Amino acid sequence: MTFYRNGVWLVKGLKEYTKAGYEAAAKHFVPGDLDVNLKGKSFMITGANSGIGKAAAIEIAKRDHFGDMPFHSADSATTLIHSCKNGLQITVSSGGMLVQKLNIADLQFEKGQFDGTMAYAQNKRQQVILTEQWSKQHTDIHFSSMHPGWADTPAVRLSMPDFYEKMKNKLRSEAQGADTVVWLAVSASAATQASGQFYQDRKPVSAHLPLASTRSSAGDEEKLLTVLEQLAEKFNPNTAQSSD
């Protein structure tokens, strides 16, 4: 099954995830979708000092507003997030997650020899599942996940040097990789889409390759949320104070 998944993913990637794939998809973009003024809106972007995050931040800043959101405590951040109207949460996943099925039995990668590429893809699969689950739990917030395709970023050059050398002339620019992030963040068209979906080049797409057997059970997905909530609780300052 691994061989099949990788093969289908590679064929799909060569057609859709490259610079040429983006240019083909862009022919069908709605003109004017990104012609918006963001005055009065606030955005918080993680990883905005490099790669896809930086490119997204630059594009959003061009539309008249960008600011960080400093918080003195987790409580103040949570209160503000829940008080925001028309809130959005966009998760940048990876096309590599398509070859992975959620492995609930080894979330910390403690069994067998560690494989960084596999672990990264598993984490990205987890992100997509979390986005789907959060959209059901928090209906007042619009959730989306997406993947940027194969883009020329510092992370790709550093972590996948062989892939980069073979594909460097076909990779998307950082701005092309970030395009769907920006579209999801600012476009009125994106806001009309159902919450919890996975996107590629401004379109909702399946989070699974055909016949790849990567769908997990509802029980496993619920267990993922439970385990992560338990882990997060260990870092909750209120919990730490009450236990002292």
Structure confidence by residue, pLDDT tens digits, 13-26: 999 999 999 999 99
pLDDT > 70 fraction of the chain, expressed in percent and rounded? 89
CATH number, position 125: 3.40.50
pLDDT at 82: 63
pLDDT at 63: 87
- Tell whether the model's pLDDT for residue 239 goes beyond 80: no
Helix %, strand %, coil % for the chain, to 5? 50, 10, 40
Write down the pTM of the prediction. Answer: 0.90
Higher local confidence (pLDDT), 66 or 211: 211
Mean pLDDT (whole number) for 225-237: 90
Distance of alpha carbon 188 from alpha carbon 36, whole angstroms: 9
Using the structure block, give the residue that is written with the tokens 């606030």. Answer: 42
What confidence tens digit (pLDDT) does each residue in 31-75 have? 999 999 998 888 889 899 999 999 999 999 998 755 554 444 556
pLDDT at 41: 86
Active site residue 199: no
What confidence tens digit (pLDDT) does each residue in 88-100 have? 999 999 999 999 9
Mean pLDDT (whole number) for 238-243: 60
* Residue range of the domain that includes 209: 2-243
Reported confidence tier of residue 240, pLDDT bands at 50, 70, 90: low
pLDDT at 236: 82
SS3 call for 144:
strand
- Tell whether the model's pLDDT for residue 205 goes beyond 60: yes
Distance of alpha carbon 171 from alpha carbon 149, whole angstroms: 8
| Count of domains observed in the chain | 1
HSE at residue 242, side-chain half, CA atoms within 13 A, is 7
Task: Identify whether the C-beta of residue 100 lies closer than 8 Å to the C-beta of residue 2.
Answer: no
Q: Would you put residue 69 in left (φ > 0), alpha (ψ -120 to 50) or beta?
A: beta
Alpha helices, DSSP H only, in the chain? 2-16, 19-26, 51-61, 74-83, 116-137, 154-159, 161-167, 174-186, 188-191, 218-233, 237-243
Distance of alpha carbon 51 from alpha carbon 152, whole angstroms: 8
What confidence tens digit (pLDDT) does each residue in 138-164 have? 999 999 999 999 999 999 999 999 999
Residue (of 147, 145, 149) closest to 194 by Cα position: 145
Distance of alpha carbon 60 from alpha carbon 55, whole angstroms: 9
Residue (of 85, 44, 83) closest to 67 by Cα position: 44
Given 4, 17, 22, 120, the catalytic residue: 120
- Tell whether the model's pLDDT for residue 244 goes beyond 70: no
Distance of alpha carbon 103 from alpha carbon 126, whole angstroms: 9
Q: What angle do CA 99, 103, 108 make, to 5 degrees?
A: 115
Distance of alpha carbon 110 from alpha carbon 106, whole angstroms: 6
pLDDT at 1: 79
What confidence tens digit (pLDDT) does each residue in 1-17 have? 789 999 999 999 999 99
pLDDT at 71: 47
Distance of alpha carbon 125 from alpha carbon 114, whole angstroms: 17
